[in-house]
Amino acid sequence: MSGGVDSSVAATLLKEAGFDIIGIFMKFWNPSTSLRTSSLRSSEQAGENRCCSVESEKLARLVANQIEIPFYVLNVEKEFKKRVVDYFLKEYKAGNTPNPCIVCNKEIKFGILIDRALKLGADFVATGHYAQTKNRKLLKGKDKNKDQSYFLWQLNQKQLSRVLFPVGNYTKPEVRKLARKFNLPTAQTPESQEVCFIDNSANNFLKKYLKTNPGDIINTSGKILGKHQGLWFYTIGQRRGLEISQGPWYVVNKDFKKNILIISKNEKDLLKKEFIAKNVNWISGKEPKFPIAAEVKIRYKSAFAKVRILKYKKNSVKIIFEKPQIAITPGQSAVFYAGQQLLGGGIIVD
């Protein structure tokens, strides 16, 4: 229970259905202070109120009291810092653009939390994710605008066997309506679009932990146009924050060997027909027969794109688009779907 409307309604629906439930609020690491109370969001993505606040815990506790269930606070600050935040910084330093929420789901919410819940005698862990399961298959949520299955591609069969998504077959407006019906104190909590451990912007956060490393900004013809302060402060497809005149300019590449940022005015320079994905996970637990005709999302807010998936190397695949796609970004997740079913995913390499 994060103190947001989705997890609050999820808990209430289960209680109404006759489940014997407990509420767990998770305390995460926060840069302001290691003792600051925080909560697990299902990410950008989760449709929950701003976490990392004392208010979130208060709201979660109020809901638990109202629906008369036990309430526990689980401190995972050290684990969160090591497995999620350190990963986030390491990937940026390597020139990638990671999605920490996906790692958080695998390692914390559906890793540590499931383990602790089972020790408390629970049979399942329920969350406020907009996703669905059926026969240990992971499916999209009913609400196309709020579907969060994308963030769950690293889950395995063991985890799926212990997971319930009570709001997965509802739309967000329907969840809000239910919250008002149940008179929950979280009924009007605002949407959050922030990574939970970043208070302001990703760049401001990175500047606290990564040193500046100035280098040249050039165009695709090799002309020097300015200076950057560190390649990790930029992501492929970025347009804002370049401070180069006569734009708009787009970041099209990063040369770490030469410490050069490459930009272009031509958005078509961002188009690519194929890429490699590593660390591939198949939800079924078994590698499928290749090639595969599927649809892929290369970032949470991107549209589905038709592709062929080919075997590349061990735990890696080659993705070939039917039509070239824009701003394929190393470090982001490519997630594979067949209709409503999420097949698996991988980390974009190049």
Q: Is 229 helix (H, G, I), strand (E, B) or coil?
A: coil
Residue type, 195: V
Tell me which residue range forms the domain holding 41.
Answer: 5-181
Per DSSP, the residues of 50-76 read: --SSHHHHHHHHHHHHHTT--EEEEE-
Tokens of 349: 């390499």
Peptide bond into 185 cis (omega under 30): no
pLDDT of res. 32: 64
Residues 77 and 159 grouped into a single domain: yes
C-beta neighbour count of 107 within 10 angstroms: 19
66 Ramachandran zone, left/alpha/beta (phi>0; psi -120 to 50): alpha
Residues 116 and 230 grouped into a single domain: no
For residue 191, being part of any structural domain is answered with no
Please list the rounded mean pLDDT of every run of 10 residues in the chain (350 residues).
94 97 91 44 37 82 96 94 95 93 94 92 95 96 96 96 97 97 93 75 88 94 95 92 89 95 96 97 96 97 96 96 96 97 96
Residues 62 and 158 grouped into a single domain: yes
Peptide bond into 31 cis (omega under 30): no
Catalytic annotation, residues:
104, 196
For residue 203, being part of any structural domain is answered with no
Tokens of 241: 């924050």
Residues 61 and 134 grouped into a single domain: yes
Q: Which residue has the tokens 């974009």?
A: 348
Q: How many domains does the chain have?
A: 3
- pTM value > 0.85: yes
Q: Considering just the CA atoms, what is the radius of gyration of the chain in Å?
A: 21
pLDDT of res. 193: 60
pLDDT of res. 124: 96
CATH number of the domain within which 286 lies:
2.40.30.10
pLDDT of res. 46: 35
